[in-house]
């Protein structure tokens, strides 16, 4: 990385640190992370700030799924899942990349405050504007919000005030998985999530970054109640969608030379860090097991290549050799991820819940 790029990364990290404020307030929420520590997102500075990462966090919320059930809307809004499917199908027919966006949206929702649609807010009850959407892992990156909004409008029309945005995000990720895998990945989504009232940019540091080591990936998934095997399974989502050049041009020399040359051309060397490339150079639009065949010379991130480790290579090879094994593992891991930290009628949590009327704002701002 050129010196000016290091400085730029440093400046961004310092800004993030300042924005995070004093180590008070919400730091208890994921106390295994020091305030302002974004693991694997900012080279150099990130490493310094994350030195005290607790390697054995106890999960804040075990993904038990208490309060969720399949066919949750069967009597209160029988067309809910069909209407979401329709919105997702229409969007993917226009742009297959949106399917990748919807799957990632679900992941970024679940890992921050649980699967409570906090990722969708761009304004909150306390008029907090620095919501999750503005944070480094999400800004200029997450996509598919308008699909969630369209799905929500359709279900509100059919049955007002019944279907939560958090459930819509989970249904949409399932539908995108089914479409992008040509029907090979299909699963029931237990539902009954309620929507949270809060969203804070600084809580997104529970999301692992592209520079994360295997130890850090394991820790950050464990903190959510997910296993190392779940982590390996879910990382397979990097067989679709795109990434900005900034996250991988520093490690081109570790890749297949011909591939690195192509990437370098697409990224203008390191000159255009916001250019985007496909994550999977072979079948970029298909949710398949190609990711595992790409490890480790045809994957973009250090966090992807980290799966070429003694502890994980067995599962990587098994997934590379058996598409059906990975497909069923992926379905199960998506269901499990959707159970993280859910707020339900049985267990509403302490920060307030509702069923939003519009997915990007709380009802008190409606
Ligand atoms: C294991 C740790 C993970 C790391 C470090 C990571 C990191 C990243 C990064 C840096 C990007 C590129 C973002 C950009 O350039 O704007 C990305 C894209 C993506 N990630 Fe991950 N990710 C991880 C796990 C996951 C999981 C669990 C899923 C879903 C199950 C997922 C789904 C995606 C998808 C679909 C994209 C492409 C999004 C698009 O094209 O809009 N990732 N990830
Ligand atoms: C996170 O941000 C919120 C609101 O901006 C603030 O009240 C809180 O103190 C911050 N937490 C940390 C750990 O910096
Ligand atoms: C809806 O599903 C629940 C279980 O998920 C079941 O108990 C209930 O009888 C179903 N209702 C209808 C109308 O099918
Ligand atoms: C919030 O996001 C939605 C898309 O989900 C967008 O339509 C809306 O204009 C945004 N509002 C603000 C205040 O940024
Ligand atoms: C590099 O790009 C060329 C031209 O698009 C393509 O034919 C080739 O397959 C690519 N090679 C790799 C390894 O990605
Ligand atoms: C390529 O990168 C250089 C900086 O290294 C920049 O000045 C130039 O505008 C970039 N060219 C394109 C086409 O993006
Ligand atoms: C993967 O890890 C093994 C064992 O550490 C190493 O020898 C190899 O070079 C790495 N890369 C590939 C492509 O196997």
Is it the case that residue 89 has pLDDT exceeding 90? yes
> What is d(CA 114, CA 109) in angstroms, rounded to the nearest whole number?
7
User: What's the burial of 312, exposed, middle or buried (CB within 10 Å: 0-12/13-18/19+)?
Assistant: buried
Q: What is the largest CA-CA distance in the chain?
A: 61
Please indicate whether residue 198 or residue 28 has the higher confidence score (pLDDT): 198
Q: How far is the CA of 95 from the centre of ligand 7 (A)?
A: 36
Q: Are strands 195-196 and 353-354 parallel, antiparallel or unpaired?
A: antiparallel
Q: pLDDT tens digits, residue range 149-197? A: 999 999 999 999 999 999 999 999 999 999 999 999 999 999 999 999 9
Looking at residue 258, what is its pLDDT?
A: 98
- 């090879």: which residue's tokens? 317
User: Which residues have C-beta atoms less than 6 Å from ligand 6?
Assistant: 268, 271-272
**pLDDT-derived band at 12, boundaries 50, 70, 90:** very low
Predicted local confidence at residue 31, as pLDDT? 66
Mean pLDDT for the chain overall: 91
Whose Cα sits closest to atom 7 in ligand 7? 308
- Residue 198 gets the label, from left (phi > 0), alpha (psi -120 to 50) or beta, of beta
**Most ligand 6 atoms within 8 A of CB, residue of 268, 274, 277 to mutate:** 268
- Residues paired with residue 195 on neighbouring β-strands, in sequence order: 354
**3-class secondary-structure state, position 303:** helix
Closest Cα to atom 11 of ligand 2: 26
Amino acid 209: pLDDT: 97
Catalytic amino acids? 108
Q: Does the CB atom of residue 318 touch ligand 2 within 6 A?
A: no
Cβ 115 vs Cβ 340: under 8 Å: yes
Atom from ligand 1 closest to the CA of residue 241: 40
* Ligand 6 center to 268 CA (angstroms): 6
Q: 339 in helix, strand or coil?
A: coil
Q: Determine the average pLDDT of the residues in 54-77.
A: 90
- Summarize pLDDT for 282-321 with one digit per residue, the tens: 999 999 999 999 999 999 999 999 999 999 999 999 999 9
Distance 270 CA to ligand 6 centre (A): 8
Task: Kindly report the backbone phi and psi dihedral angles of residue 244, in degrees, each rounded to the nearest multiple of 5, phi listed first.
Answer: -75, 145
Taking only the tens place, the pLDDT of each residue in 327-350 is 999 999 999 999 999 999 999 999
Q: Return the best residue to mutate from 255, 257, 258, 267 for the ligand 5 pocket (most ligand atoms within 8 A of CB).
A: 258
């Amino acid at each position: 990385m050129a010196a000016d790029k290091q400085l730029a990364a440093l400046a961004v990290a310092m800004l993030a640190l300042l924005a995070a404020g004093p180590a008070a307030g919400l730091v208890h929420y994921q106390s295994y992370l020091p305030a302002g520590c974004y693991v694997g997102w900012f080279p150099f500075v990130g490493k310094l700030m994350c030195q005290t990462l607790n390697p054995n966090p106890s999960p804040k919320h075990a993904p038990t799924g208490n309060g969720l059930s399949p066919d949750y809307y069967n009597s209160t809004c029988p067309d809910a899942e069909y209407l979401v499917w329709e919105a997702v199908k229409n969007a993917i027919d226009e742009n297959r990349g949106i399917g990748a966006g919807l799957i990632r949206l679900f992941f970024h929702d679940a890992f921050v405050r649980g699967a409570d649609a906090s990722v969708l807010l761009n304004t909150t009850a306390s008029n907090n504007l620095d919501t999750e959407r503005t944070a480094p892992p999400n800004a200029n990156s997450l996509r598919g919000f308008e699909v969630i909004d369209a799905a929500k409008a359709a279900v509100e029309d059919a049955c007002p005030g019944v279907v939560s945005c958090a459930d819509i995000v989970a249904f949409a990720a399932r539908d995108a998985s089914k479409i992008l895998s040509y029907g090979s990945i299909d699963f029931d989504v237990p539902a009954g999530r309620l929507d949270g009232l809060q969203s804070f940019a600084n809580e997104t540091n529970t999301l692992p970054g592209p520079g994360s080591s295997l130890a850090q990936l394991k820790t950050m998934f464990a903190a959510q109640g997910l296993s190392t095997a779940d982590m390996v399974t879910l990382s397979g989502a990097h067989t679709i969608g795109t990434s900005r050049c900034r996250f991988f041009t520093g490690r081109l020399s570790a890749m297949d030379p011909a591939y690195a040359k192509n990437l370098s051309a697409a990224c203008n060397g390191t000159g255009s860090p916001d250019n985007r490339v496909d994550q999977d150079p072979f079948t970029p639009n298909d949710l398949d097991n190609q990711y595992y065949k790409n490890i480790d010379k045809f994957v973009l991130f250090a966090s992807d290549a980290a799966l070429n480790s003694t502890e994980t290579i067995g599962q990587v090879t098994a997934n590379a050799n058996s598409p059906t094994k990975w497909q069923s593992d992926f379905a199960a891991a998506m269901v499990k991820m959707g159970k993280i930290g859910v707020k339900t009628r049985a267990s509403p949590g302490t920060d307030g819940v509702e069923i939003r009327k519009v997915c990007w704002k709380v009802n008190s701002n409606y």
